[in-house]
Amino acid sequence: MKCFYHNDKEAETYCSICGKPICNECKYNIDNTILCKSCSQKALRFLAFSKNEKIKSKGLVFLFSLMPGAGHMYIGMMNRGTQLMAAFFLVLALPDILANNFIFQALAIIIYVFNIFDAQNQVMLYNSGDGKDIGFVDKNFIVRNSLILGIVLIGIGLWGIFTQIFRFSFYVTLNKFLVPISFIALGIYLLKGVFSKKDLKNGV
């Protein structure tokens, strides 16, 4: 059998982790364990990481993740955790504004379950030294999709106002109008940026 990394050399053993056949040149001994080049690099990263960083408990991550985003924050992924938490509570707030409970309740459940499983996946990556705080939405995403996001936000805001008109109570409704109006304002702001860029390109 040929070595996985060298087709011209016979394999002498197998990697203890991935099982790849490897020759003597590709064999690495890490803590008395035979590893291939790829697995040895991961093992060395893990050993270096574990000496400098405290390994996070999966149990604690699970407990923290019962509050969406908190599990990610516990392992230092503030960006990812904050976005998950914001998305969850925003989805919880929207049913009362848009008068459509079922869709948003289902979406809230999806976010909640995803948050728990993702937190467990991220802590495994963190403990192996491969964890990265990558959010779901970044500034570039917002800039690239300003037109679509602006239209969607305005639509949500208008629908929220429309649904509130039919159950008018001044003090209660005034409070409920704040979020829809905020969506509209943010949507207009994004659209303004899109059209301003187009005007600059056209030399207006």
pLDDT value at residue 151? 84
Q: Percent of the chain, pLDDT > 90?
A: 16
Quick one: pLDDT band at residue 166, thresholds 50, 70, 90? low
What are the domain boundaries of the chain?
Answer: 13-52, 53-136, 137-204
Who contacts 11 (Cβ-Cβ below 8 Å, separation ≥6)? 1, 2, 3, 4, 21, 22, 23
Q: What per-residue confidence (pLDDT) applies to 100?
A: 60
Token pair 């991961």: residue: 42
Q: What is the tens place of the pLDDT at every residue in 96-137?
A: 666 566 777 888 899 999 999 999 998 888 877 677 888 887
pLDDT at 9: 82
Q: Report percent pLDDT > 70 for the chain.
A: 78
Is the pTM value of this prediction over 0.85? no
CB-CB contact of 180 with 157 (8 Å): yes
Q: For 10-19, 139-148, 189-198, which range has the lowest pLDDT when averaged over its residues? A: 189-198
**Residue 187's pLDDT is what?**
82
70-92 pLDDT per residue, tens: 999 998 899 999 999 999 998 88
Q: What is the mean pLDDT of residues 141-170?
A: 73
pLDDT of residue 53: 56
Residues 143 and 139: their CA atoms lie apart, in Å, by: 6
Provide the 3-class DSSP secondary structure of residue 13.
Answer: strand
pLDDT beyond 70 at 162:
yes
Three-state secondary structure call for residue 138: coil
User: What per-residue confidence (pLDDT) applies to 189?
Assistant: 81
- Write the CB contacts of 191 (distance below 8 Å, at least 6 apart in sequence): 146, 147, 150, 151, 154
Q: What is the mean predicted confidence (pLDDT) over 25-30?
A: 78
